[in-house]
Amino acid sequence: MRRIVDLSHVLDPGKAGRKFNLEMVGAETVNPNVVRLENQWYIMHNVNMVSHIGTHIEAPYHLLKDRDDLAKLSLELLTGEAVILDLRESPRGSAITAEQVKSAVEKAGGMRRGDIVFCNLGGAPFYGTDTYRLTPYFAPEAIAGLVAAGMKMMGVDATGVEVPGSEEHVNHRTLFENNVPLIENLANLNSLTRSRVEVFALPIAVRGLEAFPLRVIALEESA
């Protein structure tokens, strides 16, 4: 049997850290022909939000205007086998080197071309606190090494992968120039018991949109 593990945080209006507002409206405001039964609950919502909240995916279009938006990301990129790299021993606020990544890959049993790579930085338990932003970050050569090894999508339990204080987005560019989407703010990586799982990470397909929250599901073989 396979166990299902949800790797996404729940989005809570008012606590998302960025704009995420729900406006409840009666269904008749959208469809004037609504006929309600007595005491029937029939609602819809207007949603006002920024696209980079909660567990979300970023497409290359985020930085490169001629590259894929969410609607163009192939299903082959968004699903498949993932290797889970345990980098929790990296001190918070420190750089993760290419050698550390290489060691984590070896401990996970190796990486294959076409793998999804999820990095457990130990951040998820701190989600929603000030401590969460004090995360390990990736040296540019560490990201470049994963891309060169054939990573097709990356995910982290952190707000990002950039060197703190840098606005050049070197690591994002390395990913996006190689058509590697990035998932930020993963959850529950600590709940996984195996270093290789099957992943489904499916955002809605919207033309002209660079990022959006998504549900990320891992399937792992039961012990």
Q: CB under 8 Å to 89, separation ≥6 — which residues? A: none
Residue entry with tokens 């606590």: 15
Read off the pLDDT of residues 147-164 as tens digits, 9 standing for 90 and up.
Answer: 999 999 999 999 999 988
Length of the chain in residues, anyone?
A: 223
- CATH assignment of 2-7+53-221, among 3.30.2270.10, 3.50.30.50, 3.30.750.24, 3.40.50.720: 3.50.30.50
pLDDT band at 35 (very low <50, low <70, confident <90, very high): confident
Read off the pLDDT of residues 71-88 as tens digits, 9 standing for 90 and up.
Answer: 999 999 999 999 999 999
Q: What are the residue boundaries of the structural domains of the chain, listed by start?
A: 2-7+53-221, 20-49
Report how far Cα 51 is from the mean position of its chain's Cα atoms: 12
pTM of the model as a whole: 0.94
Read off the pLDDT of residues 41-59 as tens digits, 9 standing for 90 and up.
Answer: 889 999 999 999 999 999 9
Torsion sign, CA atoms 112, 117, 121, 125: negative
Torsion sign, CA atoms 111, 108, 122, 139: negative
Within the chain, strands assigned E span 2-6, 20-26, 43-49, 56-58, 79-86, 95-96, 116-120, 137-138, 153-156, 182-184, 196-202, 211-213, 215-221
Distance between CA 86 and CA 1 in Å, rounded?
Answer: 24
